[in-house]
Amino acid sequence: MLAALSSIESFLMRWTLRAAMALLVLTCCVSLYQVVTRFVFEEPSTWSEVTARSLNIWMVYLGVAVAFRTGALMAVEFLFNRLHGGARVVLIVAISGLSLGVLLVMAWYGWDMAVRVRFQMLAGVDNPFTGEGISIALVYAAVPVGSVLAIVGLLARTAEQIREALHARASAPAPQEVYEV
């Protein structure tokens, strides 16, 4: 069961990272297009700035999910390195609990905002297939989607850290008794 969940989480994070990287490339290409049309042709594009910003928002929220999973976020490890065994597990659970709370709030209110703005359209961007506007809710949806993916990454990382902390405690050599002669 845990192996199946681990493989699902690994697959999910791998594709989340790939999507974030692809969005970074697309953002760079669209931004370059914006610069060329503005400064070379002196006819700025109406859609490229909004599109680059939207792609960037999605890239950041998907990247944060992977950062939670890999533990790449900024951390102050002074206290973490000083604690061992059960105290370290308590610290891991406390930090993860606070992070989980923040991510749940972000997911809840991100979803709420995406639903609220679903009838507003992105300025200067039309759907190439229908010719109608594109809802700004697609941009706002990055917040709850990224938050839920970050929760998956956070829980997987927390489970690994707890397992490592307990394994380190179990494999630590027992203290030697000192006998005076």
pTM listed for this prediction: 0.86
Label residues 46-66 b or e (16+ Cβ within 10 Å = b).
Answer: ebbbbbbebbbbbbebbbbbb
Domain annotation covers residue 161: yes
Give first-to-last CA distance, the chain, whole Å.
54
Domain annotation covers residue 106: yes
What are the tens digits of pLDDT across the range 146-162?
999 999 999 999 999 99
pLDDT of residue 85: 84
Domain annotation covers residue 177: no
Q: How many domains does the chain have?
A: 1
Domain annotation covers residue 135: yes
Domain annotation covers residue 180: no
Domain annotation covers residue 176: no
Range of the domain at 161: 2-169
Average pLDDT over residues 117-133: 85
Domain annotation covers residue 174: no
What are the tens digits of pLDDT across the range 43-99?
988 889 999 999 999 999 999 999 999 988 887 788 888 888 889 999 999 999 999
